[in-house]
A = this chain, B = another copy of it.
């Protein structure tokens, strides 16, 4: 299944393609449409999302595990149930302290994530 530009209304977890990322274990692009996109990630201990920014607002929510998250120079540990909001263009990075399952939400959708 290739990613569709127009969106994915219903995302059944195990039917969605999983992609190995250069610096972390796995990414799945879940439900999305023009206004927003949900992405699920798996990080192994030591995996990183290197410092970056983008014009999209973002919220990261940790389902399980622990991540050291840095936003605009402030670093905090996020554990299961914790979340963080990033305004457009705010610089952020993450390092996994434990194996972690997390979701990233973007508004608007990340067209640059589509194949």
Residues of A at under 8 Å CB distance from B? 7-14, 30-38, 40, 57, 59, 61, 63, 71, 76, 79-85, 87-88, 103, 105, 107-108
On whether the beta carbons of B59 and A32 are closer than 8 Å, the reply is yes
Q: A32: nearest residue on chain B (CB-CB)?
A: B85
Give Cα distance in the complex from A13 to B80, angstroms.
8
A81 in contact with B31 (CB, 8 Å): no
Please name the residue on chain B nearest to A9 by beta carbon.
Answer: B85
Task: Quickly give the copy total for this chain.
Answer: 2
Tell me the bound Cα distance from A92 to B76 in angstroms. Answer: 36
Q: Which of A11, A38, A81: most chain B CB closer than 10 A?
A: A81
Contact A105 B10 (CB under 8 A): no
Contact A57 B35 (CB under 8 A): yes
Residues of chain B with a CB closer than 8 A to A105's CB: 36, 38, 59, 105
Known contacts A105-B38, A107-B108; is A83 also within 8 Å of B31 by CB? yes
Residues of B within 8 A of A11 (CB): 82-85
- Known interface pairs A10-B76, A59-B31, A63-B63; A36-B107 also in contact (CB < 8 Å): yes
